[in-house]
Amino acid sequence: MNPETVKQRVFKQMGLESSLAVILIVGLGVTGISVARFLKNIGVDFSLIDSRKQPPNLSQIKEIFTDYDIYTGGFPDSKFIGVTHLFVSPGVSLREPCIAQCLARGVKLVSDIDLFAYCVDAPVIAITGSNGKSTVTTMVELMAESAGKKVAAGGNLGVPALDLLADEIELYILELSSFQLERVTALKPQAAVVLNVASDHMDRYSDIEAYAKVKRKIYDHAKICVVNIDDRRVLAMVASEQKQLTFSVAKIADFSVQEESHSQWLVYGNKAVIARSKILLVGDHNTSNALAAMALAITVGLPIESIVSGLMHYQGLPHRLQIVSTAHEVIWVNDSKATNPSSCIAALMAFDEQVILIAGGDCKGADLTELAAIIKQHVRMVILFGRDADILEEALQNSVPIYNSETLEGAVLVAKEFARAGETVLLSPACASFDQFKDYQERGNIFVQTVRRVAA
């Protein structure tokens, strides 16, 4: 699309002439830089600000945006005076006093997803949920590729939404976090799904209902709402007049699991589509993910044979129940993406036998009650590490043997000492990684490296 055409479309949607706009991008992370790059390419002026004195890659950012004002080291009120439009990165809370004051006086909050929505012409699938977002996003992407579609997937996963835009793309698949959704108003997806709602990010939301309210926004302008009827909060999100497709692993739905010829099958209506045994991922949560992906694929006209091909060839993502080693008959599993209690619970439920669980990190204020009950049933011993290890230990109340380690590497060594042949050692932290690591990928990579070094 021509940059001048894009510029005209963007400012028409904003309802403002470009000469009158005073745009401030808050946050020099991946999203903020994506927005800056987009606005620069269409010839729009802006400033950038970050609370950190030395954000990552600051020198490169200054080289790229030499003609733009860049402020670091805080959010002084003076930098927000006269601003007409704010782009606030998902990692920055809207409760920051200077941001809250801007919004209170009518400054327009625009997100990278809104900019994307202003420009996109091809159908969009939007995916959110406490768990499973990346799995479903990549499942649908593989289905679309199997159908020969030119597809682009990203958002919260991988490539920022604005960087996906291209004239040749026939289908966009966006993974969206709650932090992204709370600042989105313009997105009108062909289909949207909230996979599930569980306690997460309670350090940013007052309670789980406030968190669920933000997740619900993904359905606001969706043409088709894909609904998990196994989750009561999700079920309550969609109005009766909205077009729906339902899925369930436990009930009759548009997409469900049924017994056919002494085997379990994933079913669309009355049609058996694929045997559950043909899907490479284990656990009810991954079966639910597969059903959601099937429903989303149907909404954009993907053929059944491409859906089946995508499911049969999908091997999962790194750091999500990833088998790392089976040396000496001990199975080591990397589930570092389990950054909240509900995802850890789903991982534990995927195993028939009791496991040795390695957990810990930043609990984000989550309720650990249900996790503690599941650990008591499914875990032989727990090895805790990270900042909130004491909070986890208190929640477990000595219901299982507990060992502590200051580091993840140390936890692996403890697990090696106690693991028996035939057992599984599972890293499923139930916590965010930012107390000790850059992100969950770094945490998972260190686990994999340590296991491969010591387990053999």
Q: What is the pLDDT of residues 236-271, one digit of tens each?
A: 999 989 999 999 999 999 999 998 878 899 999 989
Alpha-carbon distance 434 to 362, whole Å? 7
Whether the domain at 3-110 and the domain at 322-454 fall into the same CATH topology = no
131 labelled catalytic: no
Checking if the pLDDT of 432 tops 90, the result is yes
pLDDT (0 to 100) of residue 280: 82
* Whole-number Cα distances in Å, 123 to 67, 80, 169, 330, 341: 35, 36, 9, 46, 34
Place of tokens 């402020």: 71
Percent of the chain predicted with pLDDT > 70:
99
pLDDT averaged over every residue in the chain: 93
| Active-site residue flag, 133 | yes
Q: Which CATH homologous superfamily contains domain 3-110? A: NAD(P)-binding Rossmann-like Domain (3.40.50.720)
The catalytic position among 85, 108, 149, 201 is: 201
Residue 217 a catalytic site member = no
Among 133, 215, 285, 364, the active-site one is 133
Q: What is the pLDDT at residue 202?
A: 64
- 366-405, pLDDT tens digit by residue? 899 999 999 999 999 999 999 999 999 999 998 999 999 9
Give DSSP secondary structure letters for 359-428.
Answer: E-SB-TT---HHHHHHHHHHEEEEEE-STTHHHHHHHHTTSS-EEE-SSHHHHHHHHHHH--TT-EEEE-
Span 345-376, pLDDT tens digits: 989 988 888 999 999 999 988 899 999 999 99
* pLDDT tens digit sequence for 262-313: 889 999 998 999 999 999 888 899 999 999 999 999 999 999 999 999 999 9
Give dist(CA 37, CA 31) in Å, integer: 10
* Contact predicate 140/296, CB 8 Å: yes
| Active-site pick, 131, 156, 286, 289 | 156
> Going by CATH, does the domain composed of 114-313 fall within 3.40.1190.10?
yes
The pLDDT, as a whole number, for residue 3 is 86
Residue 19 has pLDDT above 80, yes or no: no
d(CA 170, CA 125): 11
Q: What is the pLDDT of residues 136-160, one digit of tens each?
A: 999 999 999 999 999 999 999 889 9
Across 11-20, 111-120, 190-199, 315-324, least confident range: 11-20
Q: Over 70: is that where the pLDDT of 336 sits?
A: yes
Highest CATH level, class, for 322-454: alpha beta
Q: What is the pLDDT of residues 36-83, one digit of tens each?
A: 999 999 999 999 999 999 998 899 999 999 999 999 999 999 999 999
The Cα–Cα gap between 68 and 261 comes to 66
In angstroms, the CA 26 to CA 18 distance is 19
User: How distant is the alpha carbon of residue 206 from its chain centre?
Assistant: 20
Distances in whole angstroms, Cα of residue 11 to Cα of each of 27, 83, 110? 22, 15, 12
Spell out the domain ranges in the chain. 3-110, 114-313, 322-454
pLDDT of residue 201: 67
